[in-house]
Structure 1
Amino acid sequence: MEDMADDTFEVRVGERGELAAGVVGLELVAADGGALPAAPAGAHIDLVLPSGLVRQYSLCAREDRPGTWRIAVLREAGGRGGSAELHDEVVEGTRLRAAGPRNRFPLLPADDLLFIAGGIGITPLLPMLAQAERDKSRWRLAYGGRTRASMAFLPELAAYGERVTVHPQDECGPLDIDALLSPAPAGARVYCCGPEPLLAAVRERCAALPRLTLHTERFAAAAPAAAPAGADAGFEAVLKRSGTSVLVPAGTSVLRAVREAGVAVLASCEEGTCGTCETTVLEGAVEHRDSLLTEQERAAGDLMLICVSRSRGPRLVLDL
């Protein structure tokens, strides 16, 4: 594989198949016939679709297919077009460009693990189960969905037996978060991925259970906090590697200003959740408005998501 200047490379769709009602699975292989980079549990890629849209997808590669990637894509009726394009226009043999893998949702060592998935949120958790097995951790998974027919990967999950509980809402109601969390012992890690109402419920319950450590991956931005006075003022962004600087006016994102200056930057969600546009900050203070960076990362001040975050002062120097 030969990487381009923008860090993307070419992949090809190998196998394509329906995983559940409204969910398509795509196996990706290296276009040059080599092996794709290994991906740790929780990793994602950025995929450049034929239309030029960039979308982020969690990897759930099969262990019996080393050197390949697999993604699962839910058709989103009210989405921004990426899922419809993959469902309707991408077929076996289609060539795409990709970047990654990157991991903002790593599986950390723990003796006890509780996985909670809602709908397509099962995707990043699937390889975590295999990793937990290899690590000989104690784990269990609660997987909720609208209907059994809409829930992907049920045949694969069946191999884990009673450690996996499937909760189709039309059969047994919504997930009982309290009942799931209460038996978890001190030191357990909780990994949750799914729609925002599920994440909010799990966050609320875990906040009252300090013995547990919660890790989440979200599909949508959190409600933005009120910006400090003056935080929307214009500022200068110095692009160190490009040898140029741009003015970022009030009401314009750093991402837009940088692109208008002719500097190519991959971006997917453009709402501060996916991390595709994460950029190293060399100088300056950042007004963080994302839903991704940890408090420790924000305090360090050397990273920002340029689609939503801004400068606290008149000047930022970026590694672009």
Structure 2
Amino acid sequence: MPLDARPLAIAIMGPTASGKTAFALEVAQRFGGEIVSVDSALVYLGLDIGAAKPTVEERARVPHHLLDVRDPWQAYSAAEFAQEARVALDGIASRGRLPILAGGTGLYFQALLEGLAAMPAADAALRADITAEAQAQGWPALHAALAQVDPAAAARIHATDPQRIQRALEVYRLTGKPISQWQREARGMRLPFRVLKLVLAPADRTVLHERIARRFDLMLEQGFLDEVHRLRALPGMQAVAVPLDLPAVRAVGYRQAWEYLDGQGDAAAFRERAIAATRQLAKRQLTWLRGELDARWFDPAIDRARLDDALALFLP
């Protein structure tokens, strides 16, 4: 049997606050790697503290890719991410370095590792119609409409995720074919790398919840609300009619901060809402990760020796 000559890559996956960033930095320094962020919040300029973006010092230690590639009032699709990430991976491999994918955005991982179908481009008029429907009926009603025509997509898309609901309805209305079918047909466009998938996740869910709360409190101490004030003051953000519909503002923590600065609730309620939303995000991430049947799971607090063994067996 011929040897698999594909270049190697490591995917460090896991729920938010599980320690992916620190571990990715360590692996990159040990094995001569560069990190490709797989995170839908880190692509945005200005989302630093609340998105736990790698610091300037961390980026100086290890090259990072796909950070700060869009302004916060711009959209950024999974297809765009996959295209730009593939370019980054090819460049890293051509330099004889080890690509390390690190993040928790399942759709980005799927788009990059498995490929996305060549779905129709956005249709401005149809999007405006769907937005008008949402304003009249609410996004949960449109999510219910999506469930009627594409139950598989509706099961994956949260009822409060307007961007993905809109895109799924748009694709169906443009083509008559559910977006989930387009995505199934994309299989076979896989990334031409041999990828070791490592999932970091505390075995005890209370440990993860405690990490989430501690990290959010640290973000507040570091000036998270000041960061959101600065985002709100940007001319590009002020030009947006409904900023809460922007993907950047819907990032966990940012939406709750935005609403708090709009006068919704007190500081204690804001903190509780943000931590609860982050826990829900972690739950969704874990649900998606359980479907990655070729991924290996590790509790970073107790499985360090097993993690090192997995790396040693995979890397030459």
Regarding TM over 0.5, the answer is no
Q: Which has the higher helix share?
A: 2
What TM-score, normalized to structure 1?
0.25
Q: Which has the higher strand share?
A: 1
Select the structure with the greater relative contact order (CA < 8 A; seq sep ≥ 6): 2
What TM-score, normalized to structure 2?
0.25
